[in-house]
Each structure stands twice: as C-alpha cells, then as structure tokens.
Structure 1
Amino acid sequence: MTFQRKHYAILGLWVVALIALGLFVWARFAQPGYQNAMADVIGPGDYELVTTSGESFTQDSLKGRPSAVFFGFTHCPDVCPTSLGDIATWQEELGADNQIRVFFITVDPERDTVENLKDYVGWVPDAVGVSGSPEEVEKAVKAFKIYARKVPQDDGYTMDHSSNVLLFDANGRFFEPVGYQESFDRAVAKIRRMQRG
C-alpha cells in the first residue's frame, strides 16, 4: 500500500470513528433530552371534547393509565381502519389485564358525531371515540402537534392527517409515537416499555 492510500485509509477510519462517537453522544445525551422536551409539549392544552362513553376529554383524561391516542375520521378509506386493526392486535397480545386505553379523536367533527364514532371504534378493546365542536377539535389538533386538513373532492371532501399512534404513560406524559404500520413486535415492545415506566 502506498503512503497516499495508507493516509486515506487512516483518514477514513477517523471519519467513521467520529460518526460513531457523534451517534453515541446523541443517543446517550441529546436524544433523551429531546424526548423529555417533547413529552412536555405534546398533549397539554385547554381543549374539552366528549367521548363516546359520555365523559369529557381533557388533558387530564390521559392520566391514570397508559393510553394510545390516534387522530382519524370515520370516512377514512385506509389509514384509520388499518391503524385500528393494528391497535386491536396489540391489545390482544397485551392481554385483558394489561391493555391500554385507546382514544380515537376525530379530525372531522362536522361528520363524526359521538354516536357514529361509537360504532366505528366499538370493536377495538378499551377504545372510545372522541369528538366535539370544530373549535375544540382544532385546539386538540394543535395541542397534540398533529397535522390535519380538509381536502376538497368532487363529491365533497376528505381529510388528510397524521398517521402516528401517540403513546402516553400513566402520568399523562407523551412517551413515544408508533409509526403507521410499524412492525407488530416493535409496537408491542414500546407499549410494554412504557407500562414498566
């Protein structure tokens, strides 16, 4: 190996080592701080909605037991039914004694009444639908830092919205998201880690 090649090889090793060190520092120090900061801003707000069980839904509703929060709508063609199906399989895996509460909050309060939400989520264990006035739903959308907007169509409109399931611990603090169609094992592992506290 010539001197120049040896020099480039050593330089390359140093670059790889520095990248690895940077990733370690991020994982050890920066990422937990970032997650803690997010836990303080996702969920809290002055919204007041209504659940399909007749109770009000506020930021305090997330306290007491671990919860999953999903924003969707009953006219959703694919993401919402798929996500509810995933949540149902998580609940089955967790077992009756370890299931988490599930809040399905509509992003389409004009069409999603508490009554039709009850039918829509009723088959998912420990799930309730959540609706309210457009103004209160908008407050919740902002409080949970999710994306939702009305998209006009020839026959009316549909809703474009975030597809993550948001996990909250028993203290009502944001824990982690579960991505759309994230693997079953990863999703259940996140929930169990959250339950262990």
Structure 2
Amino acid sequence: MTRLKAIRIALWVAVAVLTATTVGVFMIRETETPANAAIGGPFTLEDAGGKPVTEAVFTGKPHLIFFGYTHCPDVCPTTLADMTVLLDDLGPAGKDLVIAFITVDPERDTPEVLKSYLSSFSPQIVGLTGTDAEIADVVSAYRAYRRKVPGEAGEYTMDHTASVYLFDDTGDFRGTIDLSETDDVRLAKVKRLLGIG
C-alpha cells in the first residue's frame, strides 16, 4: 500500500468518525430537548383590575398570548390593533377566544396603566402583570424573551418576543402569528385553531 493511499484511508476514517460523533451529539440534544417540549405552565399574575389570575383563565378555551409593554413605540400597539381587527373579523365565532397581553415591563405596567392602555383595543384582550420575578417566570415558561435596554435620562425600552403564541382549548401550543404576516394568514391560523377553517 502506498503512503498516499494510507493517508487517504486515514482521512476517510477520520471523516466517518467525525460524522458519527456529530450525529450522536445532535441525537442527544434532540432527546434532551424534544421539539414538542412544553411551552407554558402555571403562573399567578394580576389582571388590569388588580385581581389575581392563574393559568386557569385559559382552561378549556383556545387562547393567544402576546408579550409586550405599554411604552412600546410600535410593535405592541400594532399587534394589539391587529388582534382587535382579528376578533372583529371572527365575529361570534371568536367569542370564546382569550387573548392575553402579558407585560414584560412590570416596573411601569401596573394594573391601572394596563387598564388605561388596553381601553383602546378589544375588551376581549386581557392585560396581565405581576412582580418582576413573576413575569420572569412566565417569560421563561413560555420560552419568550425580554431585555431592558437603557436609554437617556433614566429612560429605557424593552426588547421582547414579538410573536403571538397560539394554544388550543387543551392548552397545547399550536404555533405563532408573526407580525409580518398578512391579515388573511393570521385569520386563517386562528380559524384553524378554532376548528372553523
């Protein structure tokens, strides 16, 4: 066997070992974090009336959850306006749909602030707040994201997940609505969730 042939064989063996190792690592990761791992979980927060609310508010009802905050300059009011239009488009078919707006900024978003802010949108949208620790737990349970971004003179904004989470009446996660989707696409997704489309 020539030296060149031996080097080629050694390289192919190395490639095979590396490929097997890579596949093994991804299989282990897939086992540790399955694609259908739970999104959501128990929580205790306050609604815009200051009343304690748990995840039981969603029991037996299809629901949408959106994480945002009242000082948001564009994404949040746009999304809530879209959800208001969506509810109008659904009409009576959407009467059991629960939409929750969970703040990522409990420092500023008290129940009173949420109540005032949400008065511009559908009354079917429920505002939820809590302590920073309670909000952190909910954000984590729903695999969402939030980060405080300092600004000038003590002001700040919040980076946060901008998708709307869709859950069926059994509480199973069914996907998301993206801000860039058209009204028709959003409506079709929610109709499927409600079993009417």
> Which of 144, 149, 152 in structure 1 is aligned with 2:150?
152
Partner amino acid for 2:119? G
Residue 41 of structure 2 aligns to a residue in which SS?
coil
Aligned residues of 2:39 and 2:142 also touching (Cα < 8 A): yes
- Shift of residue 58, structure 1, vs aligned partner: 2.5
> Cα–Cα, structure 1 residues 169 and 131, in superposed 2: closer, same or farther, change >3 Å?
same
Partner amino acid for 2:106? P
Question: Is 1:71 paired with 2:70?
Answer: no
Structure 2 Cα separation of the partners of residues 50 and 175 of structure 1: 25
Q: 1:21-75, CA deviations, whole angstroms, 9 ceiling, x for partnerless residues?
A: xxxxxxxxxxxx94xx14xx11114x21111244433333222211111000000
Aligned residues of 2:49 and 2:112 also touching (Cα < 8 A): no
Structure 2 Cα separation of the partners of residues 85 and 96 of structure 1: 18
Aligned residues of 1:62 and 1:172 also touching (Cα < 8 A): yes
**% identity of equivalent residues:** 40
- Shift of residue 132, structure 1, vs aligned partner: 0.5
- Cα RMSD of the aligned pairs, angstroms, is 1.7
Residue 95 of structure 1 aligns to a residue in which SS?
helix
Which position in structure 1 is the counterpart of 2:94? 98
Aligned residues of 1:53 and 1:128 also touching (Cα < 8 A): no
Tell me which structure has the larger Cα radius of gyration.
2
Partner amino acid for 1:147? Y
- Shift of residue 112, structure 1, vs aligned partner: 0.3
Structure 2 Cα separation of the partners of residues 189 and 97 of structure 1: 13
Deviates most, 159-168 or 58-67: 58-67
Aligned residues of 2:46 and 2:129 also touching (Cα < 8 A): yes
- Shift of residue 181, structure 1, vs aligned partner: 3.1
Aligned residues of 1:168 and 1:174 also touching (Cα < 8 A): yes
Structure 1 Cα separation of the partners of residues 187 and 77 of structure 2: 19
Q: Normalized against structure 1, the TM-score is what? A: 0.76
Summarize the alignment of residues 46-195 of structure 1 with structure 2, pairs less than 5 Å apart. 47-99=43-95, 100-125=97-122, 126-155=124-153, 156-195=155-194
Aligned residues of 1:62 and 1:168 also touching (Cα < 8 A): no
> 5+ unaligned residues in a row in structure 2: which ranges?
1-33
